[in-house]
Amino acid sequence: MEHDSGGERGQQAGVTDFEEFYRSAYARLVGQLFSVTGSLEQAEDVVQEAFVRALDRWPRIQAYDVPELWVRRVAINLAVSEIRRLRRRAAALLRLGAQRPLPHLTPQTVEVAEMLRHVPVNQRPVLLLHDVLDLPIEQVAEQLGLPVSTVRGRLARARANLARRLAADPEGALSHHGRP
């Protein structure tokens, strides 16, 4: 049993060491990555992600002469990957042209969007495809890559959520909707 408690102390020391490492290096790394990204928010995101990855590997990384070098390298790689992704996206948008067709937002479309906002995000596509677009459950399942039973369950929960919402607010914005 002594060995187990010693292991627990060792794990606790590792966490404490990591927290100390994080506090001492975080601001410096964000400043460095700001130079790479040009965005404080993006620099914070990549540094935080690099620290999350370091925490997962902390027993190995803490043995390095300078663990900060590993975190910096990971953060830089993440930043460069993100910059490349954004450039590819911008190039694709340019190829599509500046004159993208405007979406057809009828009052009914806006009402459906408002109605779906009151349903958990994983239930919205099922409700839209089946109840709004009148697709059969099997086709909804195929389009979403879900089992039919999952589609049925999400549909039932979405309808129940809407029914509760309508019952709680019968005079509210959702009361004039047709079929949920």
> Do residues 122 and 82 make contact, with C-beta atoms less than 8 angstroms apart?
no
Average pLDDT, the chain: 83
Closest CA to 162 of 136, 109, 126, 110: 126
What pLDDT sits at residue 14? 53
Cβ-count burial 45-77 (b if 16+ within 10 Å, e if not): bbbbebbebbeeebeebeeeeebbebbbebbbe
Kindly write down the DSSP assignment for every residue of 51-68, as one continuous string: HHHHHHTHHHHTTSS-HH
Domains of the chain listed by start with CATH number: 2-96 (1.10.1740), 107-168 (1.10.10.10)
More reliable by pLDDT, 132 or 32? 32
Q: From CA 22, how far away is CA 12, in angstroms rounded?
A: 15
Closest CA to 79 of 112, 130, 40, 25: 40
Percent of the chain's residues with pLDDT above 70: 82
Tens-place pLDDT, residues 88-125: 988 888 877 766 667 777 888 788 788 888 888 888 88
Q: Is the pTM value of this prediction over 0.85?
A: no
Whether the predicted pLDDT of 165 surpasses 60: yes
The two tokens of residue 173 are: 């914005």
What pLDDT sits at residue 153? 95
